[in-house]
Amino acid sequence: MTKEQILKIFHEKFGDEKPEVYASPGRINLIGEHTDYNGSFVFPGAIDKGMVAAIRLNGTDKVRAYAADLDEHSEFGFNEEDLPKEGWAKYIFGVCREIIKRGGKVAGFDTAFAGDVPLGAGMSSSAALESTYAYALNDMLNLEIDKFELARIGQSTEHNYVGVKCGIMDQFASIFGKEGHLMRLDTKTMEFDYFPFDPKGYKLVLLDTVVKHELASSAYNKRRESCERAAKAIHDNGNPDVQFLRDATMEQLDAVKDSISEEDYMRAKYVIEETQRVYDVSEALEKGDYETVGARMYETHHGMSKLYEVSCEELDFLNDVAREHGVTGSRVMGGGFGGCTINLVKDELYDSFIEDAKKQFKEKYGHEPKVYDVVIKDGARKL
């Protein structure tokens, strides 16, 4: 949605005022999945799809918000007991609350927003929403919160007002994204590098199963708990330096195998292997070796499907189609439990792969997957 379109909607709902307009994107992630709450690495980039919001301070201590895509209104104050009932409004409320908890002074505002990040596709529509408001309020109210803290405000919103104990990747990518660049973030130190991403001869494309499984957030939180238990078992087994699974080796994990559940062992094995894959991919990218990048992506898919168990039948099916078609790399992207595969495809295979994937998926599941070409764009900004 353009600035003009959201301004028009704002004017229809809130009268002829002059709001500011802000936008924040969703994200893709090349590799490093479920690693961000294990102190490990992620490799995201901001995309050309996101949220756009028109916002104007209204001189009260209330927020009046309009979600254009859903045609729903919500009105709420800033106290803990003012939690709105609309799911989408909880994100805006949460951001305000988290700013207040950090000593920031918020003020009432009117706002209309809309987005084009497909919901439930694993592209982080929720982080886009959080980052839009965190960035906007910081700017409009001169709060001088630094960009890392803005990302953490979004993350804490998920933890405290949505119930997803997520890592920092999505909010970080949405705030720090840079056109044409992926970012390799070390989630333990929060150090990161921008990697120019222009894979000559290849395209990145997302295939959206349009499947979204129930209970994804409780399954996500359970994965996190497994990782924490495994890391603690390793730590307590004479490895005081192991704070996160990122710090652990397979040998250290194997040494505690009998004292943790089989499930926790599988989850931890995946994370330790995935950490190594991110190192491999960083090295391969520097050499322009996309064949290695692709091979690691397939390994990630396998790990996410068989060890971490966050894939689903439809995603596995798309992964198989990619492999059979000779696609360089393919894997489930994001939290999993539905959503998209991310595919690294040679230019000359692109058209036939998309056609093949659509046809085979439709024959099996009765509808085509949605196709999104990945375009890497800037993070949160004022329009």
- Output the smallest distance, CB 6 to ligand GLA, in A: 25
Task: Quote the Cα angle for 180-210-223, to 5°.
Answer: 80
Give whichever of 37 and 109 is closer to ligand GLA, judged by the CB atom: 37
User: What is the edge-to-edge ordering of all strands in the sheet holding 338-346?
Assistant: 329-332, 338-346, 202-212, 370-373
Catalytic annotation, pick one of 36, 110, 139, 170: 170
The least CB distance from residue 333 to ligand GLA, in Å, is 8
Hunting for tokens 């995946």 — which residue is that? 270
| Rounded-to-integer distance, Cα 171 and Cα 280, Å | 25
Which amino acid belongs to residue 162?
V
Torsion over CA: 349, 354, 355, 360 (sign)? positive
Minimum distance of ligand GLA from residue 50's CB (angstroms): 15
Rule CB under 6 A: which residues touch ligand GLA?
Answer: 33-34, 36-37, 124, 166-167, 169-170, 334-335
- Minimal distance, residue 160 CB to ligand GLA, in Å: 14
Q: Which residue, 68 or 95, is less far from ligand GLA as judged by CB?
A: 95
Contact residues for 16 (Cβ-Cβ < 8 A; gap 6+):
none
Active-site annotation holds for 264: no
Cβ-based nearer residue to ligand GLA, 306 or 382: 306
* Cβ-defined contacts of 188-195 (< 8 Å, 24+): 188/39, 188/40, 188/243, 188/244, 188/246, 190/148, 195/43, 195/282, 195/285
Regarding beta strands 181-186 and 192-196, do their DSSP bridges make them parallel or antiparallel, or are they unpaired?
antiparallel
> Per this entry, what is the length of the chain?
383
For 302, counting Cβ atoms within 10 Å of its Cβ (0-12 exposed, 13-18 middle, 19+ buried), the class is middle
Tell me whether residue 19 or residue 26 sits nearer to ligand GLA (CB atom).
Answer: 26
Choose between 170 and 314: whose C-beta lies nearer to ligand GLA. Answer: 170
Distances (CA, A) of 321 to 139, 207, 303, 316, 354: 46, 11, 18, 9, 10
Q: Write down the least CB distance from residue 332 to ligand GLA, Å.
A: 10
User: Which residues have a catalytic role annotated?
Assistant: 170
